[in-house]
Amino acid sequence: MEARLDEAVGLARAIRLDVVRAEIARIARPRPNTLFGGGAVGNLGELIKDDAIELVVVDGALSPVQQRNLERSWQAKVIDRTGLILEIFGARARTHEGRLQVELAALSYQRSRLVRSWTHLERQRGGFGFLGGPGESQLEIDRRLIGERIARLKRELDDIKRTRALHREARRRVPYPVVALVGYTNAGKSTLFNRLTRSAVSADDMLFATLDPTMRQLALPSGRQVILSDTVGFISELPTHLIAAFRATLEEVTEANILIHVRDAHHSDSDAQRSDVLAVLADLGLDETAQDRVIEAMNKIDLLDPAGRASLANHARRNSQSAVLSAATGEGCDTLLELIDNRLEAATRPVRLDIPLSDGRTLAWIYRHGEVLGRRDDDEAAHLSVRLSEADIARLHNHQRLH
């Protein structure tokens, strides 16, 4: 519970709210009208009044009725966990697509609340500025208008998705394998991304610092080139509306050749965070069989005491799926790169190739990159049976297309 409270405070700080108090409120029996019992509503009301608190975040789910009743009795704005996360995403979205996705999520969230509480609500908050200024909160949003806007957003996002599919197709023609960083928010994905690619994307001690995906080319120790991607982090109870809206982005991540699951090994809730991430990945269609595409990166080991480090290092030695590292100091990062290299190396399959004898360059390339299992030459061509990596197979196909 303490860890969860810390996280809630972190979420609030992520949009620079000034947190005056943070409390764990025990609820024996959730009340349909106020969530909290009468006594708790009163006590909290006193605190809110004494400290002149303007906004109360309930780190759970509130029904629209509960939200409205609490706002009335506390004379303060009240939002729940989903509302807060949507607000953060709204503040973070930079790209056109990101903004559309967040708006879609926020509107779907609002519509679901509108439906449930239709009879109770005379007014609904406007836009997705849950915390917005006075004008906004007065806006009346008609269900039909929301529906139309949602439909338009979905169409626009579909268009973007199609364009991106074309881009992806183009990328396949320079077919470097894609290595995607995934993990709980604040686990250190962007720090690792910067460390490995020597870039400077924003990596802050802030939940959901990254929203829009970033990609860079990276050379592995073997010389093999890959594309490294950094993207949005996960969190427990990630709002379903957000997952739905970000589905296209997130599914692309799960299509990567290798996924690096970056974990904060120092976090007291590290194991629970791991389960949350795996649950979201499973929800996105990454099944058990895809597990051999996942490498676990136990990050922030610089913060562990020697015993903690030793036990992690032990675990990693027994487990080739796991690396122990510090993105901050760089320790262990080479080992991670080697693991990626090995994994890509292992992902090979035998193919048959017919190469014109005149094409000495391609033949030489094949001998350099693959394991030639058999060869038969006729007047025109060499007929080869070769074991090659997926990436090299793609590269070769592309190369031949150029002839």
Ligand X SMILES: Nc1nc2c(ncn2[C@@H]2O[C@H](COP(=O)(O)OP(=O)(O)OP(=O)(O)O)[C@@H](O)[C@H]2O)c(=O)[nH]1
Which stretches of the chain bind Mg ion, using CB under 5 A? Answer: 189-190, 209-210
Q: Is residue 273 involved in binding ligand X (CB under 6 A)?
A: no
Q: Is residue 141 involved in binding ligand X (CB under 6 A)?
A: no
Query: Which residue of 98, 177, 188, 213 would you call a contact of ligand X, by CB under 6 A?
Result: 188
124 vs 254 by CB, closer to Mg ion: 254
Selected range binding ligand X among 74-82, 273-281, 295-303, 350-358, rule: CB under 6 A: 295-303
175 vs 188 by CB, closer to ligand X: 188
Query: Mask: binding to ligand X, 195-214, rule CB under 6 A, as x and -?
Result: --------xxx-xxxx----
AA letter at 37:
G
Site for ligand X, residues 56 to 95, rule: CB under 6 A: none
Contact partners, residue 80, CB within 8 Å, separation at least 6: 57, 58, 59, 60, 61, 62, 67
Query: Which residue of 278, 284, 303, 351 would you call a contact of ligand X, by CB under 6 A?
Result: 303
CA dist 47 to 26, 38, 159, Å?
A: 16, 15, 50
Site for ligand X, residues 211 to 270, rule: CB under 6 A: 233
Q: Is residue 300 involved in binding ligand X (CB under 6 A)?
A: yes
Give the residue closest to Mg ion by C-beta: 210
CA–CA distance, 264 with 3 (Å, rounded to integer): 13
Minimum Å gap between C-beta 22 and ligand X is 20
95-114: buried (b, 16+ CB within 10 Å) or exposed (e) per residue? Answer: eebbbbbbbbbbbbbbbebb
3-state secondary structure of 218: strand
327 binding partner (options Mg ion, ligand X, none; Cβ < 5 to 8 Å by kind) = ligand X
51 binding partner (options Mg ion, ligand X, none; Cβ < 5 to 8 Å by kind) = none
20-29: buried (b, 16+ CB within 10 Å) or exposed (e) per residue? Answer: eeeeeeeeee
Minimum Å gap between C-beta 213 and Mg ion is 10
CA–CA distance, 277 with 294 (Å, rounded to integer): 12
Q: Is residue 185 involved in binding ligand X (CB under 6 A)?
A: yes
CA–CA distance, 324 with 329 (Å, rounded to integer): 12
Residue 78 Ramachandran class (φ > 0 left, ψ -120 to 50 alpha, else beta): beta
3-state secondary structure of 50: helix
Residue ranges binding ligand X (CB under 6 A): 183, 185-191, 203-205, 207-210, 233, 299-300, 302-303, 326-328
